[in-house]
Amino acid sequence: MSKQSILNNVKASLQENKIQAQFPNYANPMKRTNDDKVQEYIAWQGANKAIVIESSQESLAQDIYKALAESQAKNVLYNPNIDINLQSLKALDTQDSMQFVAYEKSVDEQRANLFAFDTSIVQASCGVANLGVIGVASSVKAPRLSSLITRTCIALLKKQDVVENFYEGVQTLKAQGENGKLPTNMIFIAGPSRTADIELQTVFGVHGSVKSYIILY
Can you give the CATH number for the domain in which 64 is found? 3.40.50.10420
* Residues in contact with 127: Cβ distance below 8 Å, sequence separation at least 6, in sequence order: 41, 45, 133, 134, 135, 157, 161, 162, 163, 169, 214, 216
Q: Is 148 exposed, middle or buried (0-12, 13-18, 19+ CB in 10 A)?
A: middle
How far, in Å, CA of 42 to CA of 54, rounded?
Answer: 9
What is the rounded (10 degree) CA torsion for 124, 82, 66, 159? -40
Per-chain mean pLDDT for the chain:
88
Question: Which domain, by its residues, includes 80?
Answer: 37-216
Helix (H, G, I), strand (E, B), or coil: what is residue 90?
helix
Residue 11 lies in a domain: no
How far, in Å, CA of 144 to CA of 203, rounded?
Answer: 23
Residue 7 lies in a domain: no
Of 31 and 2, more confident: 2
Q: For 165, how many CA atoms within 13 A lie in the half-sphere containing its CB?
A: 7
Residue 25 lies in a domain: no
Of 71 and 176, more confident: 71
Residue 54 lies in a domain: yes
Mean pLDDT of 158-170: 95
Res 26 pLDDT > 70: no
Q: Is 206 exposed, middle or buried (0-12, 13-18, 19+ CB in 10 A)?
A: exposed
- Structurally, the chain folds into a number of domains equal to 1
Q: What is the pLDDT of residue 180?
A: 75
Structure confidence at residue 74 as a pLDDT band (50, 70, 90): very high
Q: What is the pLDDT of residue 62?
A: 97
pLDDT digits (tens, 9 = 90+) for 189-206: 999 987 877 777 777 777
Residue 181 lies in a domain: yes
* Residues in contact with 193: Cβ distance below 8 Å, sequence separation at least 6, in sequence order: 204, 205, 206, 207, 208, 209, 210
pLDDT digits (tens, 9 = 90+) for 118-128: 999 999 999 99
Mean pLDDT of 78-102: 94
User: Which amino acid makes up residue 106?
Assistant: S
Angle formed at CA 165 by CA 158 and CA 200, multiple of 5 degrees: 100
How far, in Å, CA of 71 to CA of 213, rounded?
Answer: 10
Res 102 pLDDT > 90: yes
Residue 1 lies in a domain: no
Residue 187 lies in a domain: yes
Name the phi and psi angles at 212, rounded to 5: -130, 125
* Residues in contact with 13: Cβ distance below 8 Å, sequence separation at least 6, in sequence order: none
Residue 2 lies in a domain: no
